[in-house]
Structure 1
Amino acid sequence: MDASVTTPVELVVLDMAGTTVKDDGIVERAFARAHERTGVAARMPWGEALQYVRDTMGQSKLDVFTHLAGGDAVTAAKATAAFEQAYAELIVEEGVEAIPGAAELFQDLRAAGIAVILTTGFAPVTRDTILDGLGWRDLVDAAFSPVDAGRGRPAPDLVLRAALHAQVSSVAAIAVAGDTASDIGTGLAAGAGLVTGVLTGAHDRTALEAAGAHAVLDDVTGLRALLGLPVRVVV
Structure 2
Amino acid sequence: MVALVVLDMAGTTVRDDGLVEQAFTAAIGTQGVAPDDPAYAPMLAHVRATMGESKISVFRHLLTGDEARAQGANAGTEARAQAANAAFEAAYGDLVGAGHCVPIDGAAAVVETLRTAGVKVALTTGFSRATADRILAALGWQQLADLTLVPAEAGRGRPFPDLVLTAVLRLEIDDVREVATAGDTTYDILCGLRAGARTVTGVLTGAHDAEALSAAGATHVLESVRDLPAVLGL
TM-score w.r.t. the length of structure 2 is 0.92
1:144-172 deviations in Å (ceiling 9; x for gaps) = 01000001100000000010111111000
Q: Is 1:170 paired with 2:151?
A: no
Structure 2: stretches of 5+ with no match in the other structure: 66-76
Where 1:38 maps in the other structure, the secondary structure is coil
Give the whole-Å Cα distance in 2 for the aligned partners of 1:122 and 1:40. Answer: 22
What fraction of aligned residue pairs are identical, expressed as a percent?
Answer: 54
TM-fit CA distance, 1:13: 0.1
Match for residue 62 of structure 1 among 46, 56, 59: 56
Q: Which amino acid aligns with 2:15?
A: K
Q: Which amino acid aligns with 2:232?
A: L
Work out whether residues 97 and 138 of structure 2, in 8 Å CA contact, stay in contact via their aligned partners in 1. no
TM-fit CA distance, 1:202: 0.2
Give the whole-Å Cα distance in 1 for the aligned partners of 2:146 and 2:38. Answer: 41
Count of aligned residue pairs for this structure pair: 222
Where 1:151 maps in the other structure, the secondary structure is coil
What is the alpha-carbon root mean square deviation over aligned residues?
1.4
Alignment of 1:116-195 (within 5 A): 116-195=121-200
Give the whole-Å Cα distance in 2 for the aligned partners of 1:134 and 1:179. Answer: 19
1:91-128 deviations in Å (ceiling 9; x for gaps) = 12243100000001111100000001011100101100
Where 2:180 maps in the other structure, the secondary structure is strand
Q: Which residue does 2:202 correspond to in 1?
A: 197
Work out whether residues 41 and 68 of structure 1, in 8 Å CA contact, stay in contact via their aligned partners in 2. no
Work out whether residues 3 and 173 of structure 2, in 8 Å CA contact, stay in contact via their aligned partners in 1. yes
Q: Which residue does 2:102 correspond to in 1?
A: 97
Q: Which runs of 4+ in 1 moved over 4 A?
A: 40-44
Q: Which residue does 1:232 correspond to in 2?
A: none
Give the whole-Å Cα distance in 2 for the aligned partners of 1:57 and 1:44. Answer: 21
Structure 1: stretches of 5+ with no match in the other structure: 1-7, 230-235
Relative to structure 1, the CA distance from residue 117 to residue 40 in structure 2 (aligned partners, 3 Å threshold; closer, same or farther) is farther
Give the whole-Å Cα distance in 2 for the aligned partners of 1:17 and 1:224. Answer: 19
Give the whole-Å Cα distance in 2 for the aligned partners of 1:70 and 1:82. Answer: 16
Give the whole-Å Cα distance in 2 for the aligned partners of 1:130 and 1:136. Answer: 8
Work out whether residues 25 and 34 of structure 2, in 8 Å CA contact, stay in contact via their aligned partners in 1. no
Work out whether residues 2 and 180 of structure 2, in 8 Å CA contact, stay in contact via their aligned partners in 1. yes
Q: Is 1:39 paired with 2:35?
A: no
Work out whether residues 40 and 68 of structure 1, in 8 Å CA contact, stay in contact via their aligned partners in 2. no
Q: Which residue does 2:232 correspond to in 1?
A: 227
Q: Which residue does 2:221 correspond to in 1?
A: 216
Work out whether residues 202 and 222 of structure 2, in 8 Å CA contact, stay in contact via their aligned partners in 1. yes
Q: Is 1:53 paired with 2:47?
A: yes
